[in-house]
Amino acid sequence: MTKTVRLGLLGLGTVGRGVYRIVDENRELIERRTGVRLEVTRAAVRDPDKDRGVAVPAGVLTDDPRQVVAAPDVDIVVELVGGSDAARSWVLEAVDAGKHVVTANKALLAEHGDEIRRRAAEAGVALGYEASVAGGVPVIKTLRESLAANRVLSVYGIVNGTCNYILTRMREDGSAFDAVLADAQAAGYAEADPSFDVDGVDSAHKLAILVNLAFGVPVAIDDVHTEGIAGVNPSDIEFGREFGYTLKLLAIAKAAAGPDGRLEVEARVHPTLVADDRPIAQVGGVYNAVQIVGDSVGDLMLYGRGAGERPTASAVLGDILDVARIADSDAAAAYDGGGAAPDGRIRPIAEVSSLYYIRFTVEDKPGVLSQISGILGRYDISIESVIQKGRDAGKTVPLVITTHRARERDMQDALVEIDRLPSVAEPGVLIRVEDDG
Ligand code: NAP
Ligand code: HSE
């Protein structure tokens, strides 16, 4: 028997338009496959007169999201506007009105996820957010359902298509950062404010969602150590290549035991050098990949398009159809799956240990390397390899060092001392190197 489910879309931009188109094009297929017939009964936009390339019937469009949220002919509110404050109000109003909610909005969930999850559970409605992490890649469903019986040890990946696209083009054809960012914006990959992408904030939002789901640990967005790619110097991509590494913006979460035995989770986003032969290094362009290690499943990797109209809309529709099928059951309130280990905590970055790549700009004169290596040695940091490029007596040259595993606090303290040396012309550039994955 067919069940008709009525959708109220908030937003008909890149993702909303994709949802509208897929519903329109695949309605019969979806109905045959799932027994659910989807109808878009309401849609809110900022400007109803804008040509958006989809033929929306008269009476469906409004410029007032509250009309959609309150409409009696809407079963699932699909939030595809973005931003966190107004979206929070609309989503909470929808929940309070007994409507299920599906959203692609990672900023909203990273900042207000606890409150929204709690209110949805209290109201007995489902909250779906598959599209909020890694676009079309079903990482949320994998963690929530397929790996529900695993203790997750790490989640690690490329979760921002825009940054991956930029870094890939910089490495492959030497493109300039600004030109590639403009291409990513034109393709609909970038956030409304692209600084969210390039400053690492979008990846941090996604990592916070993954940490909550995979480890159950409460996480505030400020707990996620975040560095973006805006300051990436092309020379580090090239030196990395000489060492056999590819530069990626990685979101990394790893479980560890704290000193008091409590679960601690590293949660960090930063440019990272990974060995060229690692699977994650091969993930190029707008593609995302998430590697998960579970205590039973071992390691697995999910790969696919992390942004763009159709891939993201595909994930939104996956949620809509799941929610449609459980809508009237007790399972709806537990659909979001997060928050299972409230006693855990996020490990501060100073306590994390890593391998490092450091590039110094130094005067080309005898004794400089021994000064630098002496400071690193005093902080218990062991050098793995060194390259110095060029020979320009009396002028500055790059000196690149890779290290064995060291503690972040020691590395930062050593860098401060090294930067004070008279023969060091510019602050050292530090990039972490990952050997997992
Ligand atoms: P977008 O293209 O900027 O579309 C936003 C939509 O929201 C537009 O239709 C806009 O109306 C509407 N809107 C904005 N303010 C509004 C208001 N006050 N009242 C009513 N409607 C309003 O954004 P998007 O790229 O589709 O992204 C939507 C969400 O999906 C964001 O949370 C984003 O982070 C997330 N997401 C995006 C992607 C992607 O690849 N783009 C991937 C994953 C997740 P107008 O059309 O009239 O301007
Ligand atoms: N701006 C995001 C990205 C969209 O580039 O990955 C997908 O969340």
Q: Which of 58, 59, 61, 85 is nearest to 12 (CA)?
A: 61
Q: Tens of pLDDT along 164-175?
A: 999 999 999 999
Q: Which of 106, 206, 248, 254 is catalytic?
A: 206
Indicate which atom in ligand 1 lies nearest the CA of residue 135: 43
Does ligand 2 have an atom closer than 6 angstroms to the CB of 306? yes
pLDDT tens per residue across span 31-79? 999 999 999 999 999 999 999 999 999 899 999 999 999 999 999 999 9
Cα 106 to ligand 1 centroid, rounded to whole Å = 12
206 belongs to the catalytic site? yes
Q: What would the pLDDT profile of 362-400 be if each residue is shown by its tens digit?
A: 998 889 999 999 999 999 999 999 998 766 666 899 999
Residue of 17, 49, 63, 81 to mutate, ligand 1, most atoms within 8 A of C-beta: 81
Q: To the nearest whole number, what is the mean pLDDT of the chain?
A: 94
Alpha-carbon dihedral sign for residues 261, 433, 408, 382: positive
Ligand 2 pocket check: which of 106, 162, 286, 314 to mutate, most ligand atoms within 8 Å of Cβ?
A: 162
**408 Cβ inside 6 Å of ligand 2:** no
Structure tokens at 333: 């309130």
Which residue segments constitute the domains of the chain, with CATH numbers given? 3-136+310-334 (3.40.50.720), 140-305 (3.30.360.10), 350-434 (3.30.70.260)
Mean pLDDT of 93-109: 97
Q: What is the CB < 6 Å shell around ligand 1?
A: 11-16, 44-47, 50, 65, 80-82, 86, 104-106, 131, 135, 188-189, 191-192, 307-308, 312
Q: Is the pLDDT of residue 437 over 60?
A: no
